[in-house]
Amino acid sequence: MTTTHTFNVHFWLKKSSIKSDGRIPIYASIWIDSIPVDLSTKEAIFEEHWNSEAKRVKSRIKAVKLRYLGKDKAVLTFKNLLDYHKDNELGKLAPGTTKNYSSTEKYLDRFIKKQFNSTDIHLTQINYSFVVKFENYLRTCPPLKKSQPLKNNGIMKHLERMQKHTILAFKHGWIKINPFALYELKFEEFDYPFLEQCEIDTMYNLSITQTGMCLIRDISKIKDTCKVTVIR
């Protein structure tokens, strides 16, 4: 005796559970012998990206077009987060600070390519382990410039900038857990040594033509023009 079973699956949007950013969760209805079971796919989408007749996501070309036109503002990946930071937060920082974010993003880009064999990853993949692995990568990877090798405090600054990105994502609800919640930035303290008199004299007598270097040299001349009066 042969027993026949039926199996069908179709996808639908659960509009009663719209997320704060406007995306709607995608659910799957699984029918086995006419008995339905609804399961979440753990994915969400904007309604305009959903083909209601075909019960599936519209073509990728449509999504790319919307992203290019700026109509799709979902922050789902790490690159999305970096773009959001550039568009909405970077302009609030001093010029001297903004240029440093570019270096951090280059290191992150190299790390993601090496660790995940991809040019981008979903925000859910940014966790404590990601932070630790990124630190280890910075301690062993070639520097962006051979003349500027990465040392501990430089590594901590890159992690500090990444932390600001993830805190931004956490505040907006794009990630549920702060990856840096259990991570401690460890800066090394050190003293800047004073110049010896012979070193000051060397700078004082140095003949140079570069404007920036002249400014540094001229600082040494202050000792001949400044006097300190001690009031007793």
pLDDT, tens digit, for every residue of 7-46?
Answer: 778 888 999 989 888 899 989 888 877 788 888 887 888 8
C-alpha dist (Å) from residue 200 to 212, 222, 223, 225:
17, 11, 9, 14
- Are 82 and 160 in the same domain? yes
- Are 53 and 115 in the same domain? no
- Are 112 and 143 in the same domain? yes
Determine, yes or no, domain membership for 103.
Answer: yes
- Are 200 and 217 in the same domain? yes
Determine, yes or no, domain membership for 231.
Answer: no
First and final C-alpha spacing in the chain: 114
pLDDT, tens digit, for every residue of 98-136?
Answer: 889 999 999 999 999 999 999 999 998 999 999 999 999
- Are 61 and 89 in the same domain? no
Instruction: Name the domain boundary from 69, 87, 122.
Output: 69
pTM: 0.54
Range of the domain at 15: 7-69
Residue spans of alpha helices (H) in 94-210: 95-116, 128-140, 152-172, 197-204
Nearest by Cα to 122 from 179, 79, 159: 79
Determine, yes or no, domain membership for 210.
Answer: yes
Determine, yes or no, domain membership for 229.
Answer: no
- Are 64 and 11 in the same domain? yes
pLDDT, tens digit, for every residue of 161-188?
Answer: 999 999 999 998 889 999 999 999 999 8
- Are 60 and 99 in the same domain? no
Instruction: Name the domain boundary from 18, 44, 69.
Output: 69
d(CA 8, CA 143): 54
- Are 26 and 101 in the same domain? no
Beta bridge partners, 43, equal 26
Determine, yes or no, domain membership for 1.
Answer: no
Determine, yes or no, domain membership for 113.
Answer: yes
C-alpha dist (Å) from residue 66 to 21, 70, 120, 149, 197:
16, 6, 19, 41, 65
Determine, yes or no, domain membership for 91.
Answer: yes
Average pLDDT value for the chain: 81
Determine, yes or no, domain membership for 98.
Answer: yes
Instruction: Name the domain boundary from 16, 35, 69.
Output: 69
pLDDT, tens digit, for every residue of 44-67?
Answer: 888 888 888 777 777 556 544 544
- Are 198 and 134 in the same domain? no
- Are 85 and 141 in the same domain? yes
Token pair, residue 46, equals: 């904007």
Q: Yes or no: say if 163 and 180 are a contact pair by the CB < 8 Å rule.
A: yes
- Are 153 and 120 in the same domain? yes
- Are 82 and 159 in the same domain? yes
Backbone angles phi, psi at 43, to 5 degrees: -125, 155
Task: State the total domains in the chain.
Answer: 3
User: 82 vs 203, which has greater pLDDT?
Assistant: 82
pLDDT, tens digit, for every residue of 75-104?
Answer: 889 999 999 999 888 888 888 788 899 999
